[in-house]
Chain A
Amino acid sequence: MTVGDAVGTDRLEDTLRRHRDQGRKLLIPYVTGGLDPEWLVTVEGLAGAGADAIEIGIPFSDPMIDGPTIQEASQRALDRGATPEGILADLGHLRIGVPLVAMTYYNLIAHAGHQRMAGMLAAAGVSGAIIPDLPLEEVGPWADAADAAGIATVLLVAPSTPPHRIGAIVARSRGFVYGVGRMGVTGEQAVLADSAREVAARVTAVTDLPVCIGIGVSTPDQAVAVCDVADGVVVGSALVRRLLDGEGPLGAVRFASSLRQALDAAGRTSR
């Protein structure tokens, strides 16, 4: 557990940078907000298990970049009546000392209004936002509102992103840069795609922002392998699948701990 994290605009970036500069590999687990009655217990447990930030999915009816696991989690949460307002109200009660990053699709933000959603996120203690269907060319109006409210808009770099776009994307990204590990939707993979490390290398070469790789990072070994090059990992489907399978907060926390231990062990021998 870390203490003394900065608040406000740069909280996410400051926290991740500080941890990275301490020689620590960054672990950002993902949980679908409202997935089950114990989802907040899961979030608290992940903080205790050594997450450096926690990504909270705000479920959308049409999750275009998500595979079957997150699709099912989103649908379950929606069936339980999850709404952006409800999830953010719940998060507002948490006191965990770990930055929260909302992950959602743009329509929920556009529908609420940029300023209103940015304000709602800030009021809930959320530090950042990942909006996968809002690429560089379309992000401006939201990102300006988010900046003003102290919400870091995390942009994504994909294996298909050509070099000249990477520079522009990292320049507009706040908090960290999300490297997309493979060409595909979210979901567990038996083998880490070569593209995960390639993307990490291409992005870390052009930015000092923390670079975390997600999509297709499913196991401690894969996390360690990608963190050879990257500053950290985002792990979603592998964790959410455990929740869907009924392993509960304990199962999720146990998995996150295994990722933490593997990253820490590898961190002691690298850099």
Chain B
Amino acid sequence: MSTHPPADTTVPGAIMGDPGPTGRFGEFGGRFVPESLVPACLELEEAFRRAWSDPSFRGELDALLRSYGGRPTPVTECTRLSRELGVRLLLKREDLAHTGSHKINNVVGQGLLARRMGKHRLIAETGAGQHGVATATAAALFGMECVVYMGEVDTHRQELNVFRMELLGAEVRPVASGSRTLKDAVNEALRDWVASVEDTHYCLGSVMGPHPYPWMVREFQRVVGDEAREQCRVILDGGDPDVVVACAGGGSNAAGTFAGFADATSSTLVAVEAAGGAALTVGSPGVLHGMRSALMQDESGQILEARSISAGLDYPGIGPEHAHLAAIGRARYESAGDEEVVDAFRRLARTEGIIPALESAHALAWVLRVAGSPELPTGSTVLVTLSGRGDKDVAQVRDLLRAGASGTGG
């Protein structure tokens, strides 16, 4: 076995540091994949370690994120909504990044890495379609082939995103097995990868899967938290937000956000899961998709189907580092239900002129629920990562509101 040079992000004793060669975050993480994929995971880990400690890679990534990805994204102070809530609400605007969500940070990083590794085909799973669109975008940018696996249910819920991916030159393969949502898309992407690993990079979209993905994707998303922390310090005269909130399905925007605050500040960290996919609030430890983490499962250990209004949070697990952050108490995990999420979606649109992704609206829904309570006292400062924009969700919310209106009327 080769010895790996330490990544430059390694800080001894860091809460969100390097999980080491076994990919462990406390008792979570690991690399639970078929032997066929182990060499590919080892190769990827080695390539990532080299790239991440290579200033030329970091420089190229930073330059691309700036000139192509639209970074840095701003932090917006929500004046009207803050007044209504009695708390100071700041939004980290990942909705303004290219492709409309934080997903671009990860795919540009993985695309560059795939190119370095000599791979010319990207595969990805997607739920809401954000990561699929981002991967298709990166594939177009780097001139690579792209196949995106998407649960059949989600291809209907997110029809426009399917078309966007096709416009970008990707092939979208609907997945008809299991619950036909994100978890099944991951299964199918892994199955593709087993057969194609020689020329294909699996561009996993969240802080989940086998080592090194949870760590690598968190590092590619760290830019969200690092930027936000510095921007908050300017806005807050050198201070940090009292509370930092992000939504979590697999948990990549939350992990990227938290990475900027977990070690550097004493801000309270809160991740908000979908009530129907709340791996950490109602799940238990288990192993799925290459990782040991918190999962929704039945009494035998069969994985349960997540159910949420938001395709991007429709996942019965969560990244292993989140399970660890919950276990050590550095972050809190809450959940939000569909109804309050739609309320939050509408309220941000009306008060601030920003239509958030339904995923991001989970984080806002929690803030709306607890503002003024001991959990988020009046006068406190809260940063919410707005992980994506809501254009993709507009048709779905319209249908829901119409159905609701006709339901109460008739």
B279-319 CB contacts (< 8 Å) to partner A: 285-290, 292, 295, 297, 300-303
Return the CB mask of A128-153 against B: 1 if under 8 Å, else 0. 00001111111000000000000000
Q: B218 near A: Cβ within 8 Å?
A: no
Given A155-B35, A169-B35: A138 and B30 interface contact (C-beta under 8 Å): yes
Given A61-B302, A84-B300: A137 and B22 interface contact (C-beta under 8 Å): yes
> How many Å lie between the Cα of A184 and that of B195 in the bound state?
4
Contact at B32–A183, with CB atoms within 8 Å?
no
Question: Chain B nearest CB: distance from A174 CB in Å?
Answer: 16
> How many Å lie between the Cα of A164 and that of B178 in the bound state?
37
Return the CB mask of A150-168 against B: 1 if under 8 Å, else 0. 0000011111111011000
Q: B191 near A: Cβ within 8 Å?
A: yes
A59-117 CB contacts (< 8 Å) to partner B: 60-65, 67-68, 71, 75, 78, 83-85, 105-108, 110-112
Contact at A158–B36, with CB atoms within 8 Å?
yes
Contact at B40–A160, with CB atoms within 8 Å?
yes
Question: Chain B nearest CB: distance from A138 CB in Å?
Answer: 6
Q: B183 near A: Cβ within 8 Å?
A: yes
Q: A250 near B: Cβ within 8 Å?
A: no
Contact of B194 among A60, A65, A75 (CB under 8 A): A65
Given A62-B178, A160-B40: A184 and B30 interface contact (C-beta under 8 Å): no
Query: Which of chain B's residues have a CB closer than 8 A to the CB of A67?
Result: 191
Contact of B301 among A68, A112, A158 (CB under 8 A): A112
- In the complex, residue of chain B having the shortest beta-carbon distance to the beta carbon of A108: B301
Q: B55 near A: Cβ within 8 Å?
A: no
> How many Å lie between the Cα of A191 and that of B281 in the bound state?
48
Contact of B33 among A75, A83, A135, A185 (CB under 8 A): A135
- In the complex, residue of chain B having the shortest beta-carbon distance to the beta carbon of A137: B31
Query: Which of chain A's residues have a CB closer than 8 A to the CB of B300?
Result: 83-85, 108, 111-112
Q: A227 near B: Cβ within 8 Å?
A: no
Q: B190 near A: Cβ within 8 Å?
A: yes
How many residues of chain A have a CB within 8 Å of chain B? 43
Contact at A158–B31, with CB atoms within 8 Å?
no
Contact of B35 among A68, A158, A185 (CB under 8 A): A158
Contact at A107–B34, with CB atoms within 8 Å?
no
Query: Which of chain B's residues have a CB closer than 8 A to the CB of A157?
Result: 35
> How many Å lie between the Cα of A159 and that of B36 in the bound state?
7
- In the complex, residue of chain B having the shortest beta-carbon distance to the beta carbon of A105: B287
Question: Chain A nearest CB: distance from B39 CB in Å?
Answer: 5
Question: Chain A nearest CB: distance from B292 CB in Å?
Answer: 8
Query: Which of chain A's residues have a CB closer than 8 A to the CB of B178?
Result: 61-62, 75
Contact of A133 among B32, B183, B301 (CB under 8 A): B32
Contact of B286 among A83, A110, A160 (CB under 8 A): A110
Contact at B288–A158, with CB atoms within 8 Å?
no
Contact of B32 among A71, A138, A159, A164 (CB under 8 A): A138
> How many Å lie between the Cα of A137 and that of B184 in the bound state?
26
> How many Å lie between the Cα of A175 and that of B289 in the bound state?
27
Contact of A62 among B31, B33, B288 (CB under 8 A): B288
> How many Å lie between the Cα of A142 and that of B177 in the bound state?
29
Contact at B191–A110, with CB atoms within 8 Å?
no
B153-196 CB contacts (< 8 Å) to partner A: 177-178, 183-184, 187, 190-191, 194-196
- In the complex, residue of chain B having the shortest beta-carbon distance to the beta carbon of A160: B39
> How many Å lie between the Cα of A110 and that of B286 in the bound state?
7
Query: Which of chain B's residues have a CB closer than 8 A to the CB of A183?
Result: 36, 194-198
Contact at B195–A107, with CB atoms within 8 Å?
no
> How many Å lie between the Cα of A240 and that of B10 in the bound state?
49
Q: A180 near B: Cβ within 8 Å?
A: yes
Contact at A185–B194, with CB atoms within 8 Å?
yes
Contact at A62–B183, with CB atoms within 8 Å?
yes
Contact at A184–B286, with CB atoms within 8 Å?
no
B260-296 CB contacts (< 8 Å) to partner A: 285-290, 292, 295
A26-75 CB contacts (< 8 Å) to partner B: 60-65, 67-68, 71, 75
Contact of B34 among A65, A75, A84 (CB under 8 A): A65
Contact of B39 among A61, A62, A105, A162 (CB under 8 A): A162
> How many Å lie between the Cα of A210 and that of B256 in the bound state?
48
Contact at B34–A161, with CB atoms within 8 Å?
no
Query: Which of chain A's residues have a CB closer than 8 A to the CB of B51?
Result: none
Query: Which of chain B's residues have a CB closer than 8 A to the CB of A71?
Result: 177
6 closest residue pairs by CB, A with B: A111-B301, A184-B195, A158-B36, A61-B302, A158-B35, A156-B35
24 contacts between A and B (CB under 8 A): A61-B303, A62-B289, A65-B191, A65-B194, A71-B177, A75-B178, A84-B301, A106-B287, A107-B286, A107-B303, A108-B300, A110-B285, A110-B301, A111-B301, A133-B32, A133-B290, A136-B38, A138-B30, A158-B34, A160-B35, A160-B40, A161-B38, A183-B195, A183-B196
Q: A108-B300, A165-B39 are in contact. List 5 more A-B contacts (CB 8 A).
A: A64-B34, A64-B191, A71-B177, A135-B33, A135-B34
What residues make up the interface of B, taking CB atoms closer than 8 Å to A?
Answer: 1, 22, 30-40, 177-178, 183-184, 187, 190-191, 194-198, 285-290, 292, 295, 297, 300-303
